[in-house]
Amino acid sequence: MSEAEDRKPQSDEARSGFDPEITSEFAIPAGLAVPRTGGEPEATSEFAVPSGLDVGQPAAAEGEGSAFSLPSTYSARQAPVAFTPAEGVPVVSLIKDLPWQDRMRTMLRMPVADRPAPEPGPKAEEGGPAVPRVLDLTLRIGELLLAGGEGAEDVEAAMFAVCRSYGLDRCEPNVTFTLLSISYQPSLVEDPVTASRTVRRRGTDYTRLAAVFRLVDDLSDPESHLSLEDAYRRLAEMRRNRHPYPTWVLTSASGLLAGAASVLVGGDLVVFVAAALGAMLGDRLAWLCAGRGLPEFYQFLVAAMPPAAIGIALTLANVEVKASAVITGGLFALLPGRALVAGVQDGLTGFYITAAARLLEVMYFFVGIVAGVLVMLYVGVQLGAHLNPDAALGITERPLWQIGASMLLSLTFAVLLQQERSTVLAVTLNGGVAWSVYGAMHYAGEISPVASTAVAAGVVGLFGQLLSRYRFASALPYTTAAIGPLLPGSATYFGLLAIAQNEVDAGLVSITKAAALAMAIAIGVNLGSEISRLFLRIGSAEKRRAAKRTRGF
């Protein structure tokens, strides 16, 4: 066979495009003519342009686009006019001589993009303190404020002020009932730094609270050059300082508070002494329970028993005194007015989780007081003590004695709160004014006690907020003790007494009245504080935004 004949079959196989020994269901059968399309790719797509449709192509192929690149039809010379609202864009202006609380609260209620950047100062220069140390100092300051009973919004304002004083403007503090957290993001392309701290123990010391406010005020002052080490040193001194009043003074103040409260509801000298003894004994028993590590619920339960026991003992001994005034005076020293006001204030400012936790704490304390008093009242009823719930209608009107008792009650309440001696006189006068307003409206004007209490508490909040802004301090030392004479001690007692005598309907009505009075106090104090801001020059007051999480959408 020649070489030409040997090459011919190979060329036929190559021309046919398949191996005769290997077949496939997708192979073209022999003899079927398939027209060639001129090299069109076999793969098609539903997004491909059909053949015959004429689509104009751009003059030059564009590169791969991006979500942040400008459209190809955009022209800087023919750019559309930027939209401006009809009322214009509000300019944020913060007056520098305002207290730092107002300035920080105003900025916290703004969106992050609208907040003015801090002016560079000595603390914000390069080579300043590290961000984690600033955040740690901020959390320690917030912990002292939250543990001392300060409202969540004021704690956030203080934390924000500390961060801005060191040049950290892009920070977001967050406060709940027991957890403090803060996050700082240097820029949009850098990772945020977040730190948190848990409040394990809470105590009442308004002297320490005032010292923390002075520290934050010094840090917020642009002319002060307080370094981070100096701030840590002052913070350590606050923690090491002892309370301003010894234990025996606190116990005596608790007795005088109960005695003054008994005079408010019609008691005489014997009732004053009996209520004071019962409250001091309850205070000592509560300290004993605290030393044994018992929860606060049982401390309140034990502290409520001695005043009720002394009142029942006087009734069984046929002593001509008002046992109801003795028991009511003892209850005044136990009612958690401070926690109630703080809880309602957090709810009104938008911190609903913290408000719910604080109000739940108040409910547990109140249940402890109820349990302690009910046990003693039940024992007294079984022993034959004739306790008369109708004695609530026989409260005599003694304006001068009651005003003096209300001032003594506010004075002793301020001592129990460990306030500075310089604030005791102001809060004592504020408490006298509160009772005068309440007495004039309720006794002379015959207005309902709930409305009278709300107005009197509003006056307390107004004066307390103005005094605190004058002193550049917290408002709690000027308001908490002043609401002491308005606490619903008598309504609480008569409700419990009716329940102990199987008059549940009347008891629930009286306890509901006590709850309404407590809410009136809390709302009145907060409303008075907000009204006081109308007399203060706050930056951008005409464009002031609503509280966080309550902007209407």
* pLDDT surpasses 80 at 287: yes
Distance CA 528, CA 517 (A): 16
Lookup: tokens for 172: 């977001």
Instruction: Tokens 């900025």: give the residue.
Output: 107
Lookup: tokens for 44: 């098609």
Q: What is the DSSP string of 247-308?
A: HHHHHHHHHHHHHHHHHHTT--HHHHHHHHHHHHHHHHHHHHHHHTT--HHHHHHHHTHHHH
* Confidence band for 544, pLDDT divided at 50, 70 and 90: very low
Distance CA 426, CA 450 (A): 25
* CA 218 to chain CA mean position, Å: 23
Judged by DSSP in three states, 125 sits in: coil
Distance CA 202, CA 146 (A): 8
| Rg of the chain over all Cα atoms, to the nearest angstrom | 37
* pLDDT surpasses 70 at 479: yes
* pLDDT surpasses 50 at 89: no
Report the mean per-residue pLDDT for the chain: 75
CA distances to 169, 278, 485 from 440, rounded to whole Å, are 49, 31, 14
Distance CA 87, CA 57 (A): 46
Residue 314 has a pLDDT of 84
* pLDDT surpasses 80 at 316: yes
Contact criterion met (CB below 8 Å) for 20 and 9: no
Q: What is the DSSP string of 353-377?
A: HHHHHHHHHHHHHHHHHHHHHHHHH
* pLDDT surpasses 80 at 103: no
Residues facing 183 on adjacent strands:
172, 194
Give the number of C-alpha atoms closer than 13 A to the C-alpha of residue 24, restricted to the C-beta side. 6
Judged by DSSP in three states, 169 sits in: coil
Instruction: Tokens 């044994």: give the residue.
Output: 292
* pLDDT surpasses 50 at 552: no
| pLDDT tens digits, 36-53 | 555 455 555 565 666 665
* pLDDT surpasses 60 at 22: no
* Confidence band for 100, pLDDT divided at 50, 70 and 90: low
* pLDDT surpasses 70 at 148: yes
* pLDDT surpasses 60 at 70: no
Residues facing 184 on adjacent strands:
171, 193
Give the number of C-alpha atoms closer than 13 A to the C-alpha of residue 445, restricted to the C-beta side. 13
What average pLDDT does the segment 70-79 reach? 52
Distance CA 307, CA 329 (A): 8
Instruction: Tokens 């600033």: give the residue.
Output: 134
* Confidence band for 536, pLDDT divided at 50, 70 and 90: low
When mean pLDDT is compared over 54-58, 91-95, 322-326, 503-507, the highest value belongs to 503-507
367-388: b (≥16 Cβ within 10 Å) or e: ebbbbbbbbbbeebbeeebebe
Which of the pair, 380 or 31, is modelled with greater confidence? 380
* pLDDT surpasses 60 at 325: yes
Which of the pair, 157 or 78, is modelled with greater confidence? 157
- Provide the whole-model pTM: 0.69
Single out the residue of 296, 257, 301 nearest to residue 282, CA to CA: 301
* pLDDT surpasses 80 at 490: no
What average pLDDT does the segment 77-96 reach? 50
Instruction: Tokens 């300082």: give the residue.
Output: 241
Residue 141 has a pLDDT of 92
25-38: b (≥16 Cβ within 10 Å) or e: eeeeeeeeeeeeee
Edge-first strand order for the sheet with 171-175 is 171-175, 179-184, 193-198
H or E segment at 51? none
Distance CA 447, CA 453 (A): 10
* Confidence band for 28, pLDDT divided at 50, 70 and 90: low
Q: CA torsion 447→449→454→456, rounded to 10°? A: 80
Distance CA 361, CA 149 (A): 13
Instruction: Tokens 């011919």: give the residue.
Output: 8
Contact criterion met (CB below 8 Å) for 399 and 335: no
